[in-house]
Amino acid sequence: MSPVKTSGVLKTVQRVRGGVAVSHNKHTNDCEAQRIPAPAKVVLAMQQHIGAPCAPCVKVGDTVSVGQVIGDSEAALCVPIHASVSGKVTAIGELTLPQGVITQSITIESDGEMRLFEGLEPPKVTDKASLVAAARASGLMGLGGAGFPAHVKLNTPPDREIDTLIVNAAECEPFLTVDYRECLDNSWDILSGVYTLQEILGFQNVIIGVEDNKPKAIEVLARIAEKDDQTGDAVKLMTLPSQYPQGAEKMLVQAATGRKIPPGKLPMDLGCLVMNVASVAFLARYIKTGKPLVSRNLTVDGSAISSPKNVRAPIGTSLGEIIDFCGGFREEPFKLITGGPMMGYAVVSPELPTLKQNNAILAFASGTLRTKPERDCIRCGRCAYVCPMRLMPTQIKRYASAGDAERLQKIGTDLCMECGSCAYVCPAGLPLVQYLRLAKAVEQEASQT
């Protein structure tokens, strides 16, 4: 089914399977992002994207400036890492990321000047090749949290006819409001990025998807789109039902276009390209200024945070320094999470640095989270009912525990998007997402032997 136009805003008539209704908890909706002062130091991980890690291209003792490339690789799935502060490189060592990956990292002691690298200049973007090159040079990867390099997504194969760009502004995770604020505070950047992509890549249709619990964002984007005579009838807004995980690529494509992405296929196989709203806005700014991805907005919230707010911080700033900017901890947190509560990662220390894909820091006090003691599965089937990918999470759990990679592959474990819907509804309190991640690790290990 195709979307229906109503008063300049598209409303989906395509129902998407699975998902759960979660509490929104958008406490920082009215908080415009505040820029934190230059941190004393930053620690920049060389693995901040899906794909091969970067290799350091500076050494201890080097003086660097904001926007200078300090890590890169020639691997296809890789984007460069840039210095987020000016100062001196004081260490190159190892860092364990929240998901358990061990990677190299570069520590820069800030001089407090935030001096821009002299070689920065706006790229000349005139065609697809120069757009892809600019996206890579900017260091952009999906700012929605997935971390997929943007230049790879934009470099669609010539045999794929992409007719629709879908801009993802759903932001269905509880607590997160950075994409919402992007729509309110940087709407012209969003539309500028849309026009650039549409002109160069030749999209026939552009759909900006916003959940219906964000009426102000819908109003602002619709008003600007209607005022700008460049849009014509090709750029439209779509109100999406507030249901988690509405912002997942496969769900969003189906809701926006009615096209169902088969297992093992990508949106491009059905003529769609999906980009996060903050990624589109950043790309527009980079083309105008030449300043690469060195900082990003984060939501800092949770019952253990003294003053929840949205902040803009240099990438590599420690979680603790950002939390201190928000008044520090109200009390010792029971759980500290990078990202949203559904798909984020629990961390053990506020000393860990932020990454490009981090869009939130959440800290919860003891007694404020709904926790369930783990019990035996009662075979109620709720996890299978809410799974958007039609998987059987408890079956995956059983095979993962047994280390049975062959059966895990047969039942489509790799299709899991780790949305957490199954664990959310499980009355037995089973940590199903963790088992699903274990299952993928079992498959990967088996493929390497």
C-alpha dihedral, 181 to 277 to 214 to 384, nearest 10° = -130
β-pairing verdict for 34-35 and 309-314 = parallel
Tell me whether residue 115 is exposed, middle or buried, using C-beta atoms within 10 angstroms of its C-beta: 0 to 12, 13 to 18, 19 or more: middle
The number of C-alpha atoms within 13 Å of 420 and in the hemisphere containing its C-beta is 15
pLDDT of residue 158: 86
**CA dist list (Å): 291 to 10, 82, 329, 415:** 34, 10, 33, 36
The predicted structure's pLDDT at residue 165: 94
pLDDT at 50: 86
Is 56:92 a contact under the CB 8 Å cutoff?
yes
The segments of the chain whose pLDDT lies below 70 read 1-15, 225-234
User: Which helix (H) or strand (E) is 108 found in, with range?
Assistant: strand 102-110
The CA distance from 192 to 182, in Å, is 13
**Do 422 and 20 meet the contact criterion of CB atoms below 8 Å apart?**
no
Q: Which residues contact 371 (CB under 8 A, 6 or more apart)?
A: 429
pLDDT recorded at residue 221: 85
For the segment 133-145, what is each residue's pLDDT rounded down to a tens digit? 999 999 999 898 7
DSSP 252: H
CATH number for the domain formed by residue range(s) 4-27+122-289:
3.40.50.11540
- Can you give the residue ranges of every domain in the chain? 4-27+122-289, 382-447
Q: What's the pLDDT score for residue 4?
A: 35
Position 7 scores a pLDDT of 37
Evaluate whether 104 touches 95 at the Cβ level (below 8 Å): yes
Rounded to whole angstroms, what are the CA distances from 220 to 11, 123, 206, 242, 357? 17, 29, 17, 19, 26
Report the pLDDT value the prediction gives residue 51, as an integer from 0 to 100: 83
What pLDDT is stored for residue 10 in this prediction? Answer: 53
Q: CA dist 90 to 62, 110, 371, Å? A: 8, 10, 42
What per-residue confidence (pLDDT) applies to 223?
80
In what helix (H) or strand (E) does residue 118 lie, and over which residues does it extend? none
Three-state SS across 346-370? EECCCCCECCCCCCEEEEEECCCCC
In the structure, how many helices (H) and strands (E) does the chain have?
13, 19
